[in-house]
Amino acid sequence: MSLLFHSRTLLPGAVLTLLFTAAALISLVWVPYDTTVVDIANRMKPPSWLHPFGTDQFGRDILSMIMVGARTSIAVALVAVGIGMAVGVPLGLAAAARKGGLMDEIIMRANDLVFAFPSLLIAVMITAVFGASALNAIIAIGIFNIPVFARLTRGAALSLWNREYILAARVAGKGSARISLEHILPNVANLLIVQGTIQFSLGILAEAGLSYVGLGAQPPTASWGRMLADSQTMISLAPHLALFPGLAILLTVLGLNLLGDGLRDSLDPKLRRART
Amino acid sequence: MLQYFLKRLLSLGLSLVAASVVIFLALEVVPGDPASYMLGLNAQEDTLAALRQELGLGGSLFERYATWAGGLLVGDFGTSYTYRTPVAGMIADRLWVSLPLALYALVLSTLIAFPAGIWAASRRGSHADGAVMGVTQLGIAIPNFWFAMLMVLVFAINLRWFSAGGFPGWDAGFFVALKALTLPAIALALPQASILTRVMRSSLLDTLGEDFIRTARAKGLSKGQALWRHAVRNALIPVLTILGLQFSFLLAGAIIIENVFFLPGLGRLVFQSISARDLIVVESVVMLLVFAVIVVNFTVDMAYAWVDPRLRRRR
Amino acid sequence: MRLRKFGLGLVSALALAASMGVAHAKSDIVVAMQLEPPHLDPTGAAAGAIDSVLYSNVFEGLTRFGPDGSVNPGLAESWEISEDGKTYTFKLHEGVKFHDGSDLTADDVKFSLDRARADDSQNAQKALFTGIETVEVVDPLTVKVTLKEPNGSFLFNMAWGDAVIVAPESIGDIKSKPIGTGAFKFTNWVQGDRIDLEKNADYWGEPAKLDKVTFKFISDPTAAFAAVMAEDVNAFVGFPAPENLPQFEADSRFQVLVGSTEGETILAANNKLPPLDNIKVREAIAHAVDRQAIIDGAMFGYGTPIGTHFAPHSPDYVDLTANSQYDPELAKKLLAEAGYAEGFTTTLKLPPPSYARRGGEIIAAQLRAVGIETEISNLEWAQWLEQVFKGKDFGLTIVSHTEPMDIGIYARPDYYFQYDNADFQKLFADLTAEDDPEKRSVLLKQAQEMISKDYVNTYLFQLAFPTIADAKIKGLWENQPTQATDLTAVYWED
């Protein structure tokens, strides 16, 4: 039963994720057509053997654009999650190590504060200050990943601090920083991987939303959200322009979510115990 | 309890002050001059200076912050640079669109999620459960602005059941206005309903595994009776928390959907005001939204502490 | 709030009357446009949207633009110009009333002109008025304007939306409650959504044929398309998505008018920034750009190619597109001669309109083909004003100059593209002082040729102005000689 459940989410999730990651990686060395060359005479052609997904309003190959767009989306989301983890996890560990202390209080209040800001509006503000670019999209998404990881880490670490082996380590004279690194972090790693996958998929959606309103990567770098925005007025003329980028976002996010669920089911010790 | 309450109240106050400083400073460094935006390409330097003077863009940083924050305390949000009307009035007008839209989406998402979540939980592992879970996965993964675009194509342009967007105002009649909000509310509700269904299902499954349910079952209640009498009620706590969070998210997060359907809501107001460098509007709206979230969180914390005294010591 | 309810009550009453199949032709109209005015004072902001709603409908000037761009009498029924060309004596129409019931007098004209040229004036086109020496009231219906220098385009200047006549007693609230002399009265503004006007029963001239007008603001091109298709609006002036026009043309419910504008769309170059300060480099860029591909790709075929900074529908226009024929090989050769055989990299900063965003992607690809790499940044208008227009921090940019007869910007060395040519400045000074139409025409042609041969900018195309309307609406302006949606002659055909 549980094995069946595994294969139902883990496998398709992994396949979809791999597919888009592969598309992004391949686009680094090869794409069917150069996405920076426009060919007005061949614009808005429906899917054909030469262009499986058709061509866009400037005559560029949509399949190639989606491959390059995958690169943009994945890069932005991955780095944003990386920022969230790199800052959030140490904060969470530090807060848990001195539970109830001033440090804990400050970190948690600062977290609440960031949570209280409407994220999309802040992203709009950030790009208003620094201009629209992939880098600023990364920062805007990354900032809102910090409290997620800080909270998660703190919560998980708190329950570990009461364990006996931690007490033993304490008695042995290890400092709290060392305990956090050597004993706490490895035990919350699984949780972080699962959450990381979920945040990654949210990051892809956020990047798509930002570039849809024109605040993500700038042309000629292809991005899925901008492809959708550009195709919007042509949707009744040439639906394939809006169909394929939308599907790409949907399938990538779906893949990551399924992968995250699958990983949680197989990594989470509580669930595993519950099943056996 | 009183001590805990006061402590949280103090932290609430500090958070608001911190938020106002962050918002003010962030917008102070935004490049772009509202006066030159308003007067355009042929404006002369003396004209610009005259306008800047009138907008109150002179004065030191601290003075301007004090004027703004002091005004907020007494409910004066200042005067919009571009529209030249009180910001409070503009926000109130836009709230009449954003608030009902958020509520509408929330009601839709609850109406979908509760039955779907309970149904899936009661048939855990069945094909029905699998189907519900599959649909919710799609609902979470679909970019809502894309979904909105597709709905406009089908229901407004092709079938012409709904108008493609815009908002006639509540004066035009309740159902006319509600109809205009329907497609946007569905676009907003879909991902929320999917998340809520999953939360509902998993929190039901969690409570079903707890001791008191086992006791109830041991006492001879059927699975269905146990589910309805005990589990649903207990599962509501996490669900209500999520609902609270979703509401504040919907209020501010509708910005893209408001653009797709050209609704005159809060999100679009902020978006337009940033383009026009009407910073006083941006500051005030963002501050209001932050205030709403902080107060909602505070209320939820208090409610928890009231229900569960253990929590008072925990944070 | 009460006022709004009343206004809406009227709408629903009208709608009811219409739905009951009353035999009369429709007398109300919903006109959509892309941009909403920031406020309603045409003399206090550059926003063209203000004029698009109010010009000629609510506010009128001494002179007014006709649909073909000609300057006609407005509130002034006639005028006399002195021998030396410095004094204009305007005779005002009798019996003109503002919408608040007060009479229009020469005092109002003096007030309006003095206000526009005052030290603390917030008029976006203050330059139109700075040549005025004095404004004198001769009698209640006669006003005498004395200029510092003769100015051949003074009557033209007085027709601008920034020169409309306002009354001192209503000036305090003008930004939210505009009171003018036009054929329509302002009734209501729901910010973010619409502005309502109604017929002015006491109008001094030919009365309007419509009883009620609603301007609706729909900025998103997709929403615009959907709103017209779903017939939520009766007309859309300045339709933002040219790609949708063929669909409307194929649909018998609609009429599509594609008019001309005063918008010269140019690829502007920073004439002071190396290597763009080299005329050979600018010439190379002009030959590297394929105008037709840009018109087809960005505007879906709507737009007239131009070779200089002048409107092609003007009688003084010279077709100079031959100076910059599309020829990538020549462009490469010119780059090599200039010492950039390997090409170079520069910035391309794009404001929000789709001509710039789409045109920018195509131009970047065309420039890359001759070895010029561009770093594109998409800017909002506020950022564009700050960085490009004011800060002159750019290499290339695309923008449409929509002011009528604006070749004078090339005589301003501090203007953002920084063209500094003493010969041109002299030529333009001669032109301003000249009031003989034939000599003016000769000078204007010389000016066009000079900037074309200096390859100051790459001249792309004249912006088209698409209007989509219900097939039964008559009397809409096709062209945009100035930003206006003059509805005074519009009616529904039975």
Bridge partners of residue C72, in order along the sequence: C64
Q: State which residue of chain B sits closest to A108, comparing Cα positions.
A: B315
- Grade residue B42 by pLDDT with cuts at 50, 70 and 90: low
Are residues A233 and C378, on separate chains, in Cβ contact within 8 Å?
A: no
| pLDDT score of B193 | 92
Is residue C5's pLDDT more than 50? no
Bridge partners of residue C33, in order along the sequence: C217
Closest partner residue to B51 (CB to CB) among C122, C230, C401 is C122
Determine which helix (DSSP H) or strand (DSSP E) holds C39, and give its type and residue range.
Answer: none
- Amino acid letter for position C425: Q
Q: What is the mean pLDDT of chain C?
A: 89
- What is the widest separation between alpha-carbon atoms in chain C? 76
Does residue C207 have a cis peptide bond before it, meaning omega lies within 30 degrees of 0? no
Tell which CATH classification among 1.20.1530.20, 3.90.79.10, 1.10.3720.10, 2.60.40.10 matches the domain A2-27+54-275.
1.10.3720.10
Are residues A235 and C222, on separate chains, in Cβ contact within 8 Å?
A: yes
Distance in angstroms (rounded) separating the CA atoms of residues C254 and B125: 56
Short-list B109, B134, B257, CA closest to B192? B109
Q: Write the pLDDT tens digit of every residue in C155-198.
A: 999 999 999 999 998 888 888 899 999 999 999 988 778 899 99
Burial degree of B172 (CB within 10 A; 0-12, 13-18, 19+): middle
| Residues of chain A contacting residue B130, judged by C-beta atoms under 8 Å apart | 8
Neighbours of chain B (3+ CB pairs under 8 A): A, C
Q: Write the pLDDT tens digit of every residue in A143-170.
A: 889 999 998 999 888 888 888 888 888 8
Short-list C239, C196, C240, CA closest to C216? C196
| Residues of chain C contacting residue B269, judged by C-beta atoms under 8 Å apart | 192
Most B CBs within 10 Å, among C2, C50, C222, to test the B interface: C222
The share of chain C scoring above pLDDT 90, in percent, equals 64
- Grade residue B312 by pLDDT with cuts at 50, 70 and 90: low
| Residues of chain A contacting residue C241, judged by C-beta atoms under 8 Å apart | 233
Tokens of C114: 């003095």
| Residues of chain A contacting residue B274, judged by C-beta atoms under 8 Å apart | 124-125, 128
* B220 contact partners, CB below 8 Å, separation of at least 6: none
Three-state SS at C87: strand
**Domain boundaries of chain A, sorted by first residue:** 2-27+54-275
| pLDDT score of C192 | 75
* C376 at B interface, C-beta within 8 A: no
Are residues C386 and B33, on separate chains, in Cβ contact within 8 Å?
A: yes
- Amino acid letter for position B164: A
Is residue C8's pLDDT more than 60? no
Closest partner residue to A113 (CB to CB) among B15, B27, B142 is B15
Closest partner residue to B270 (CB to CB) among A121, A236, A251 is A121
* C106 contact partners, CB below 8 Å, separation of at least 6: C92, C137, C138, C139, C140, C141, C142, C143
| pLDDT score of C405 | 82
Q: How far is B46 from chain A (nearest CA, A)?
A: 27
| Residues of chain B contacting residue A20, judged by C-beta atoms under 8 Å apart | none
| pLDDT score of A4 | 42
Q: How far is A117 from chain B (nearest CA, A)?
A: 5
Are residues B47 and C122, on separate chains, in Cβ contact within 8 Å?
A: yes
Q: State which residue of chain A sits closest to C240, comparing Cα positions.
A: A233
User: Quick one: residue C278, left, alpha or beta (phi over 0 = left, psi -120 to 50 = alpha)?
Assistant: beta
| pLDDT score of B279 | 82
Q: Write the pLDDT tens digit of every residue in B172-186.
A: 788 888 988 999 999
Neighbours of chain C (3+ CB pairs under 8 A): A, B
Are residues C227 and B166, on separate chains, in Cβ contact within 8 Å?
A: yes
pLDDT, greater one: A77 or B124: A77
Q: For B94-312, give the CATH class.
A: mainly alpha
Three-state SS at A163: coil
Distance in angstroms (rounded) separating the CA atoms of residues C110 and C65: 21
Q: Write the pLDDT tens digit of every residue in C49-58.
A: 889 999 999 9
CB burial readout C135-158, b (16+ within 10 A) else e: bebeeebbbbbebeebbbbbbbbb
Closest partner residue to B145 (CB to CB) among A115, A209, A253 is A209
Three-state SS at A12: helix
| Residues of chain B contacting residue C380, judged by C-beta atoms under 8 Å apart | 32, 274-275
Are residues C361 and A220, on separate chains, in Cβ contact within 8 Å?
A: yes
Q: How far is C343 from chain B (nearest CA, A)?
A: 32
A·B CB contacts under 8 A: 119
Q: Write the pLDDT tens digit of every residue in C67-95.
A: 888 899 999 999 999 988 899 999 999 99
Q: State which residue of chain C sits closest to A35, comparing Cα positions.
A: C365
| Residues of chain A contacting residue C295, judged by C-beta atoms under 8 Å apart | none
Q: State which residue of chain C sits closest to B270, comparing Cα positions.
A: C192
Three-state SS at A82: helix
Distance in angstroms (rounded) separating the CA atoms of residues C117 and B159: 55
Are residues A131 and C360, on separate chains, in Cβ contact within 8 Å?
A: no
Q: Write the pLDDT tens digit of every residue in B55-77.
A: 777 677 788 888 888 888 888 88
Short-list C16, B29, B237, CA closest to A125? B29
Distance in angstroms (rounded) separating the CA atoms of residues A201 and A207: 10
Are residues C45 and B40, on separate chains, in Cβ contact within 8 Å?
A: yes
Distance in angstroms (rounded) separating the CA atoms of residues C366 and B170: 51
* A234 at C interface, C-beta within 8 A: yes
Q: State which residue of chain B sits closest to C11, comparing Cα positions.
A: B172
* A214 at C interface, C-beta within 8 A: yes
| pLDDT score of C23 | 46
Short-list A120, A121, A140, A117, CA closest to A130? A140
| Residues of chain B contacting residue A242, judged by C-beta atoms under 8 Å apart | 146, 149-150
Are residues A40 and C296, on separate chains, in Cβ contact within 8 Å?
A: yes
Q: Write the pLDDT tens digit of every residue in C390-432.
A: 889 999 999 999 888 889 899 999 899 999 999 999 999 998 8
| Residues of chain B contacting residue C220, judged by C-beta atoms under 8 Å apart | 165, 259-260, 262
Does residue A220 have a cis peptide bond before it, meaning omega lies within 30 degrees of 0? yes
- Amino acid letter for position C118: A
Are residues B262 and C219, on separate chains, in Cβ contact within 8 Å?
A: yes
A·C CB contacts under 8 A: 60
Of the given ranges (A206-215, A241-250, C97-106), which has the lowest mean pLDDT?
Answer: A206-215
Show which of residues 394-433 on chain C sit within 8 Å of chain B, judged by CB atoms.
401, 403
Distance in angstroms (rounded) separating the CA atoms of residues B163 and B155: 8
Neighbours of chain A (3+ CB pairs under 8 A): B, C
As a 3-state breakdown, chain A gives helix, strand, coil percent values, each rounded to 5, of: 75, 0, 20
Residue A92 contacts residue A145 (beta carbons within 8 Å): no
Q: What value, to the nearest 5°, has the Cα angle with vertex C380 and ends C374 and C385?
A: 85
Q: What is the mean pLDDT of chain A?
A: 85
Distance in angstroms (rounded) separating the CA atoms of residues C412 and B223: 85
* ipTM tops 0.90: no
Short-list B249, B256, B254, CA closest to B293? B249
Closest partner residue to B15 (CB to CB) among A112, A235, A236 is A112
Q: How many helices (H) and strands (E) does chain C have?
A: 13, 19
| pLDDT score of C6 | 39
**Domain boundaries of chain B, sorted by first residue:** 94-312
- Grade residue C113 by pLDDT with cuts at 50, 70 and 90: very high
Q: What is the dihedral of CA B219, B223, B229, B231, to 10 degrees?
A: 110
The structure's pTM equals 0.81
Q: Write the pLDDT tens digit of every residue in B258-293.
A: 877 878 888 888 887 877 778 888 888 888 888 888
Residue B289 contacts residue A121 (beta carbons within 8 Å): yes
Chain-centroid distance of CA C93 in Å reads 27
Q: Give the count of beta carbons closer than 10 Å to the beta carbon of residue B48.
A: 18
Three-state SS at C327: coil
Are residues A58 and C361, on separate chains, in Cβ contact within 8 Å?
A: yes
Chain-centroid distance of CA C444 in Å reads 20
Are residues A116 and B290, on separate chains, in Cβ contact within 8 Å?
A: yes
- What is the widest separation between alpha-carbon atoms in chain B? 87
Bridge partners of residue C188, in order along the sequence: C196
| Residues of chain B contacting residue A120, judged by C-beta atoms under 8 Å apart | 252-253, 255-256, 267
Residue B268 contacts residue B72 (beta carbons within 8 Å): no
B·C CB contacts under 8 A: 140
